[in-house]
Amino acid sequence: MSTMNQAQNLLTGAEAELDAQFKSRWVDLASERVGGETLACSDDFFAEMENLLKAGRGIFIDDKFTERGKWMDGWESRRSYGRTGARSLEQDFDWCLIRLGMAGVIRGVDIDTNYFRGNAPQAVAIEGCNSVGQPDAQTVWQTLLTKTDVRAHSQNVVAISDDRVWTHVRLKMYPDGGIARFRVYGEVAVNWQDFVDGELIDLASIKNGGQALLVSDMFFSDKNNLIMPGRGKDMGDGWETRRRRDPGPDWSIIQLAALGSVEKVLVDTCHFKGNFPDTFKLEGALAGPTTDPVALQALDWQPIIDQTKLYAHREHLFIRELRVPREQAFSHIRLSIYPDGGVSRLRVFGKRQGPAQ
């Protein structure tokens, strides 16, 4: 195994700061975890387009080959010269059409060519559309990122300044090559007409526009896992803190998708068997939008569920235990776990009473 081939590229300086900003402030609208899907591409002879939206940065296995050539963990097209219909280097490109898992406003992208050293594209461009159905030949595409040079074996992190809502993006790479992962960071735009009046909605769900803003610790796993769709697939697919050496608690603050009541709560410790929290507490607050850590912790937090025992690898449902009236509205909730540990999912069901403040 080649040490050189296994070395992963890491961001530094301003790009690292921009990448951290994207991950802390926005969500990946294209991730397969939230329903993102690659619909079609011009060519994926060497490596399938579906790899683009997978978790992680991709891996490299030195001696792994397929009948078509070197196995690569990304999307890789064949060399474009000699192709039927090939045009010029300026006009010819490969493309991949992606349906976002959540419609939204795009704030930034990461075109990650990790481990594509001699086979990365020279440049990329990104277009978007807002389409109820599947894009077709009549779809009008709008430019989000003009043709931009990219580096091989690197994260290419770029901010996007556009306030329109998109449902699909088209990634172009010039003239051909391979991209390991594609991240589309932004704000979820929920169509509330998809819900009926009086429906109980999981207002914490990332799919509905909930956002994990701040946590005390996420040493083992990301804060957004707590509000992802579905049950966790393993212990890494949850929110887990390191072991505290004081009474705790650890905590996570989530901005709800909209102002709403809290009428049913589910706390799921799926896969957490030897490291689930002993107890938890849930609180709520009503406030305007803020990401300032001091301001968030200083909100007027009101008890929703008193400190309550949890159990390993189990869904815990709470209705009668709620201490707040059904008509009371909250914009933020805080989950505290004592003293530490892991929670797979948190569901906060309520009725929407107004837009997020």
Spell out the per-residue pLDDT of the chain, length 357, in tens: 344 456 778 888 899 999 999 998 899 999 999 999 999 999 999 999 999 999 999 899 888 999 888 999 999 999 877 566 555 555 689 999 999 999 999 999 999 999 999 999 999 999 999 999 999 999 999 999 999 999 999 999 999 999 999 999 999 999 999 999 999 999 999 999 999 999 999 999 999 999 999 999 999 998 999 999 999 999 999 999 999 998 889 999 999 999 999 999 999 999 999 999 999 999 999 998 888 889 999 999 999 999 999 999 999 999 999 999 999 999 999 999 999 999 999 999 999 997 765
pLDDT of residue 3: 43
**Which pLDDT value is given to residue 276?**
97
Q: Can you give the pLDDT at residue 357?
A: 57
Query: What is the pLDDT, as a whole number, of residue 6?
Result: 62
Give the pLDDT confidence score for residue 290 in this predicted structure. Answer: 82
Question: 10 Å Cβ neighbour count for 221?
Answer: 18
HSE, side-chain direction, 13 A CA sphere, residue 114: 24
pTM of the model: 0.90
- With vertex at residue 46, the alpha carbon angle to CA 43 and CA 47, rounded to the nearest 5 degrees, is 85
Contact of 230 with 213, CB cutoff 8 Å: no
Q: Is residue 103 a contact partner of residue 130, using CB atoms and an 8 Å limit?
A: yes
59 phi and psi angles, rounded to 5 deg: -125, 170
- Distance between CA atoms of 183 and 217, rounded to whole angstroms? 24
pLDDT at 1: 39
Angle in degrees, CA 316, 348, 318, rounded to 5: 35
- Among 268, 287, 283, 57, smallest CA distance to 179 is for 57
Return the residue matching tokens 């991730």.
31
Structure tokens at 261: 């009541």
- The span from the CA of 143 to the CA of 136, in Å, is 17
Could you tell me if 109 and 145 are in contact, meaning their C-beta atoms sit under 8 angstroms apart?
Answer: yes
Residue 8, pLDDT score: 75
> What per-residue confidence (pLDDT) applies to 241?
96
Question: Residue 4's pLDDT is what?
Answer: 47
* Alpha-carbon distance values, 238 to 22, 270, 272 (Å): 20, 9, 9
Predicted local confidence at residue 210, as pLDDT: 96
What is the structure's pLDDT at 155?
Answer: 96
